[in-house]
Amino acid sequence: MQLFDLSGQRALVTGSSMGIGLALARGLAGAGAAVVLNARNAERLEAAAATLRDEGAAVETLEFDVTDAGAVRAAVDGFETAQGPIDILVNNAGMQHRSPLEDFPVEAFDRLMRTNVNSAFYVGQAVARHMIGRGAGRIINIASVQTALARPGIAPYTASKGAIANLTKGMATDWARHGLNCNAIAPGYFDTPLNAALVADPDFCAWLEKRTPAGRWGRVEELVGACVFLAAPASSFVNGHTLFVDGGITASL
């Protein structure tokens, strides 16, 4: 299926030492791409890379802090010079902090915004500057079901993921004319380390199973198809779109 073939492409996935990022890197590798894993923790990063290499993937690593604009620019520019082009970027790095809004710590709000929003701008801009020169590139930002919905205790996270959807539209508006495709994936509730507390809560699980038309948590592997589609020639005229992969939760009351 040439429409979904990523052979000869290189994909950088931020926050990819575990969870959704690692699953997406594995999926892109399965479609033929060479993958570049990113994280701040060198030990976890190398362990993830070793796992994918054992599975037959072509893997490189790039350790940098996505919330440090200077470090991002230096890492991306250095990699492009030494190793070659980054054809696909998946802005996956993110965090969560739960607290009633009236008690939400200011420092936690700032850290969450830097991690969830600033990082997508920093890495997206650094990579896009090279993509623009080549006249081609794919940027996939990871949004959330909270891009469209809210729940108690996570208002800043909801704001950050709404920002990601609109940043994606802005990227497409500015960069489509240069040959870039910029889209987002909005996962619903997936069993990941970020959601460990919710997965362990029987009451929440019961609510989620009742609230979601599919009646269950998502599996991270179920995000791979959307990511490969948005990275591949199959989505050549898709730009500025947020694709919800949520078991139908945003479609129903």
The catalytic position among 64, 121, 122, 157 is 157
Q: Which among 68, 19, 3, 13 has a CA at the least distance from the CA of 230?
A: 3
* Short-list 48, 20, 12, CA closest to 189: 20
Let me know if 157 is a catalytic residue.
Answer: yes
Sign, CA dihedral 238-243-245-250, equals negative
Closest CA to 189 of 141, 144, 229: 144
Run of H or E including 243: strand 242-245
- Say if residues 119 and 73 touch (Cβ distance below 8 Å): no
The three state secondary structure string of 21-61 is HHHHHHHHHHCCCEEEEEECCHHHHHHHHHHHHHCCCCEEE
163/118 Cα distance (integer angstroms)? 10
Which residues are identified as catalytic? 157
